[in-house]
Amino acid sequence: MTPAPQAVPMPRRRSGRERLIGRGLIYLAATLLALFILAPIYLIAVSAFTPRESAFDFPRSVIPTAVSTDTILFFLNASGVIDAFWRSVIVALITLGLSLLIGAPAGYAIARYAFRGRGAYRLAVLATRAFPIVILAIPLAVTYRLWGIDDTVLGVALMHTALALPFTVLITSSVFISVPRELEEAAQTLGCNPLQAFVRVSLPLALPGLAAAAIFTWVLSWNDVFAAVILTLRNPTLPAKILTALTQSPIYYQFAAGFVMLIPSVVVIFFIRRYLLGLWGRVVK
């Protein structure tokens, strides 16, 4: 979207040159910010795809001199890496599904219904995150063994869902608050029952916010090491696998691992991004 300067009341007319400088500064800041995030990603990618020896080159060349997939293939073929990768993807997908399935209705309830103890509930949801997970580690592992879900994909996903839910609930509740209630009421006068009004009006309008919650949940699950290490042994997720197996590995394998860790997050964010920006760009208040 291009900025519309006439829409903003200005104390005085700014000259063309000032505006140009202002815009230049914004682009400069955006570029620096992008570099800050993209440069390490790029360097990891370069290191992952160059021959092993050049990982120790100094000064390091920014442009890859020789491309080689040896390192990355060796890493992927190492025992259990591919399995761990898919396990991680499945865990993250289950987490994503569960936390939206449980969190979005909870957020909607907080946003729309004035029920007894709403404030306390909101606080309690957040307070669960104030509880250090380290304290829970042993009881959790024991409980998981008792239930027979230790060392399983579902077990890790449940843990991640528990970790993500408070934020999902809070994010989605603020999203639904921003959708005017009158829109749902209008839908109801036009023939919808409350569920139809939600599905046809509130849900599409809430999509950008739900996308943000989804990205957050995905990243949380994908990055989590602690819960995964506690709860898995023979069936680790990718981060757990990398942490336990690769700490002693040479640095070029670590680069390869880092690159493999990055890719799914980038892909997921790429697809969710367009919902984040809003399908119709501007929303009427």
Applying CB under 8 A, the residues found at the interface with other proteins are 180, 182-183, 185-193, 196, 201, 204-205, 279-284
Instruction: Report the distance separating Cα 87 and Cα 228, nearest Å.
Output: 11
Rounded to a whole number of angstroms, the minimum distance from the CB of residue 193 to other proteins is: 6
Q: Could you tell me the maximum CA-CA distance found in the chain, to the nearest angstrom?
A: 72
Residue 230 near residue 140, CB atoms below 8 Å: yes
Q: Which lies closer to other proteins via its Cβ, residue 139 or residue 191?
A: 191
Please say whether the beta carbons of 99 and 216 come within 8 A: no
DSSP 47-86: HHTS-GGGGG-SSPPSS-SS---HHHHHHHHSTTHHHHHH
State the minimum distance, in angstroms, from the CB of residue 178 to other proteins. Answer: 12
CA 196, chain centre distance (Å):
29
The nearer residue to other proteins, 80 or 180, going by C-beta atoms, is: 180
Cβ distance to other proteins smaller for residue 196 or 265: 196
Surface-to-core class of residue 142, CB atoms within 10 Å of its CB (0-12 exposed, 13-18 middle, 19+ buried): exposed
Min separation Cβ 100 and other proteins, Å: 19
Length of the chain: 285
Closer residue to other proteins, CB minimum distance, 68 or 196: 196
- When the beta carbons of 16 and 281 are compared against other proteins, the nearer one is 281
Q: Tell me the one-letter amino acid at 67.
A: V
**Residue 275: alpha-carbon gap to chain centroid:** 14
Q: How far is the CB of 115 from other proteins (least distance, A)?
A: 15
CB of 179 to other proteins, least distance (A): 9
